[in-house]
Structure formats: structure tokens, C-alpha cells
Structure 1
């Protein structure tokens, strides 16, 4: 008996992961087993699907067409089986979600008990990390990202937008004074990020013009949570997403400064999942839950 569905799954894992090794990790097999499966598939079809070199793998034209058709076919198969299963007992199975530490602690964890109550058949694993993970490598079903999207291989569902605010603790402001204008930041300790993709300037509105204002300070953090905690401790002035500092603002641990100069910018928040994923019912259930329950501060 042949296993065409299994061969298709293996081929998609290789195509999306870009290597036998990544497919082997995702499917919990050995790279040699993956290679043999692809070889059998190509022999049965009589065409070369993957061009192998010493440095990388690339799909042939036939491979690209096969990938498109196979993804659609397996999507239909999963929809059929998943729909029947969901009708009988609701979404079931393991669900692995990855998010940044700030978003996970401030936005996800407070509402996740309601998701587990609504979907008792799902076993949820939440991984919080400020390092961007590869869905295939980490075997995550959904990753929540804040900011520009860089991986076009993934599907994206927009969850909302994170507005920004410049804040400091009352202790810091009592000690060093409250800036009256963006220019005053030159005389203050501004808390910065150590990410390579960040720049040491913040946007401010003056009249109808938005200008990038250089900032400096003796402290840098490698995550939003590190910077938030340093700001709460009185270590300086920070610029963070409102979702991250909403409770601190409400409790008075942080105070917004220069609100009249806030340019109103922000970063989009998306839930990402693999493009070849047949939108399993457990994934769709979580995406629908976030759409209905996730509330981001203005």
C-alpha cells in the first residue's frame, strides 16, 4: 500500500523548510528517510521536483506546480476530516504558540483561561521569547509578531495595532525633572534597545511635522520587558507600546510624557502560521478567539 499523503506532507515540509534537515526535524524523522521519500516520489511521478546542490535545495518548475496543487489538495482533505471531527467533539490536539515576552504576559496570559474553557480538547503550549523563531525549526503552529512582516512564506492575520508612548516613572521625573519638549531629551537618560534593527532616535510631532529626535543614555536592553522594568525602577525615559505599559500607566508606576508631541505612530500585530498549514481546526479556533477576545489599549 502506498502512502501518497505522507509523501505529499514530506515534500511540503522540504519545500517550506528549504532542506532535508529542517523537514526531518519538523516531521521527527532522519534526513536520510526524508531523502528516500522524496526519491520515491520523484521516481513515481517521473519528474525532478527538487534540484539538489552541495549548498542548498531549490524547487524545479515542476516542483513549484506540484507544491501548489498538493497544498490545495491536502487543505481540502484536512478541511473534510477536521470538519467532521469538530462537529463531533470540537477542535482537538496540541497547539503551539510563540509570542514576545511583553505581548504574552500582558495580552495573552490574561485571556488564555477563557480559550481553554471554550476548547477543552486543545493542549496549548505557549512559548515566550523576544527572539524571532522559525516556525518550522521550533515546530510552532502560530507565532505572534509585532512590526513589519519579513517572511512571505507565512500567512498572516492582523490582530490589531500597537500605539506607542514615551514614559518615565514618577521617581525619575521627581529626580531629573519632566521634559517640556522633545529637545529636552538631550539632557535625560533615554532607555534604548540593543537590537540591530533599531535606531537611536524617536519620532515627535511639532505642529504638522514629524521629526526623528536622536536619543542617548547609558542603558540598553535586549527586550521590551527589560526596558519597561528599567523605566519602572526609575532608570530613565522609555518609548514602548501601550499594550506593554497599560497596567503601569493605570497603576501610576509610569507616567506618559510629551503627549502633545506623540506622532500617533504604531506597529501592526499579526498572527503568523505556515502557508502550507491546512488551517487545522485548532489553529482556526485560536485565531477566531484572538479576533473576538484580544483588546489592545488605544
Structure 2
């Protein structure tokens, strides 16, 4: 079990985590200590300060007025400490950085960039996980995740890295066999490849008569990641809806054909780096996000705007 120095900065770190996680048990899990240790530490902190910082009920925690002031000051002090350690270390970044992203984005952009990132940070170990499923950053001890699409409301902090249009497309071999759909309604008669994510919808968005329209789609193949989806559509298995960044080269080379573009002007996929808030962003996470922002800024498919 990792050691947390129970000095004043350690107390601040635990207090900030309790506030962010909304409870002792959740904070304990994220810090890998016991809930009783967290409770004792907060009690000791309140005794030393002579003030109640948290109002405890059976269902929730709430900051008192003194707690709000202490929380604000703790965030500032922890950031100052992080900056001081960075300056004292000569800017060297150490430790293990855990990164999670989707399979397509990871294989196309993150993995190829890692040699350059590690060359600039030789004391850092990067632990990469690529999956199209949503991971719990706290439970998986993930420092940074890169996610596609809209983000649900949460305690996570997001930094936009780019955006990409989604495109409905198929291989020429599929079009030769079945013909192209002329309208979104024609998709009812086509094999549409879909995802089995819990968050995925059994319909695709289009614009009909200047109104948003959700077209139900279905097919004989359902997959769990974008890379497999791309392989299947290239093989002529059906029609897919994928991020432009993922298929831009295939569209340009003619291996895939865009479909129903005149009905699909505003289907954007936002790309964010996300991390757990509630305290100062660790130097290693900030360095990675800054690096990926620099790498991605000149990728045309990640600056795609909706078609007029």
C-alpha cells in the first residue's frame, strides 16, 4: 500500500480528494488507503484547526464555510508545491503515467508519438491501454484518457484536442452489390454495421428539410471497437458511420466511398483529454496533454468543420 506523508500537505491532499470524490470511501479507494484512515485524518485535521470543515450526513458531504475557504487555499498550496518540486527537479518528469484511449485513436496517433515523448522524458514510464469501452479513471488509476464524442456530466476535467466529422461510408465492392442509398430512409434496406457499446444508439443522425432526424439502422454485424468496424467496412461487409480521422486516407485512396453527405452536415465528434479534477494536475499528465496537443494541431482530419 503506498505511503502518504501525513504532514500538512498530506492532510490537504486527502481533504481535497474527499471533497472531489464526495465521500470517505471513494476517496480511500482512489488513494489506496482505508476509509477509517481517511476519517481519522480528517478528524485530526479539524481538531488541529479548531473548525468543522465538512458536514456529514448519511447520504452526502457538504463543505462548511470554513471548509470552502480551506479547500480553496489547499488547491492553491498543492499546486504551488507541485510547481516547486518541478523546479527543484530541473523539470524532469518521473514515475508512471497511465493513459487510456480508443483503439483507432491510440494506434493512429498516440502509439506513433510515444518514442518522441519518451525521448523527451527518459525518467517516465508510460502505461498505455487502448480500448473503445469507457473506463473508470479512478478505479483503473488512469492519469489521462482521450475520449471521443460528447462527455457526460462528471467530476472529470476535459481539455479539447480536436474535432472530426463523422462520415457514413462503404467499400466500392458493397456499393457494386447493393447500390448506394439515395436518402437516409434507404438505409432500412442496407446492412448497417453498428457498435455494441451501452452508450451507442441504434440510429444515425441526418438533416432532413433543415431538421434533425434520427434514422434507425440495423445489420448483421455488431462490433465493440472502431478498428474492427473499419476492417469490416473495408471488406465490403456493410455501411458504417466512422470518424473522418479514422478513414480519411481510405476515402482519399478510394477504398471507401462517402455516402449521404448532403444529409450529414453537422455530425461532429469532439475529442478530449480528460483527467480527474479536485487538485493540481500532475506534471506528468500535463506534459502528456501538452505534447499531444502539439502533435495533433496540424492533423487536417482533426480540424474538420461541418459541411455547409
TM-score (norm 2): 0.85
Q: Secondary structure at the match of 1:143?
A: strand
Task: Summarize the alignment of residues 1-298 of structure 1 with structure 2, pairs less than 5 Å apart.
Answer: 3-85=7-89, 88=90, 90-205=92-207, 211-250=213-252, 252-294=254-296, 295=299, 297=301, 298=304
Q: Secondary structure at the match of 1:167?
A: strand
Q: Distance in 1 between matches of 2:43 and 2:133?
A: 35
Q: CA 1:35 to 1:162, structure 2 compared with 1: closer, same or farther past 3 Å? A: same
Shift of 1:162: 1.8
Gaps of 5+ in 1: none
Q: Distance in 2 between matches of 1:248 and 1:76?
A: 48
Question: Paired residues, what number?
Answer: 296
Tell me if the contact between 1:79 and 1:278 (Cα under 8 Å) persists in the aligned partners.
Answer: no
Gaps of 5+ in 2: none
Q: Distance in 2 between matches of 1:152 and 1:65?
A: 23
Deviations 1:78-100 (A, max 9, x none): 11221232xx2532322111212
Q: Distance in 2 between matches of 1:61 and 1:227?
A: 52
Shift of 1:296: 5.3
Tell me if the contact between 2:16 and 2:279 (Cα under 8 Å) persists in the aligned partners.
Answer: no
Give the superposed CA RMSD.
Answer: 2.6
Judge which range, 173-182 or 285-294, deviates more. Answer: 173-182
Judge which range, 106-115 or 1-10, deviates more. Answer: 1-10
Q: Secondary structure at the match of 1:288?
A: helix
Q: Distance in 2 between matches of 1:140 and 1:154?
A: 12
Q: CA 1:219 to 1:103, structure 2 compared with 1: closer, same or farther past 3 Å? A: same
Q: Distance in 1 between matches of 2:132 and 2:65?
A: 37
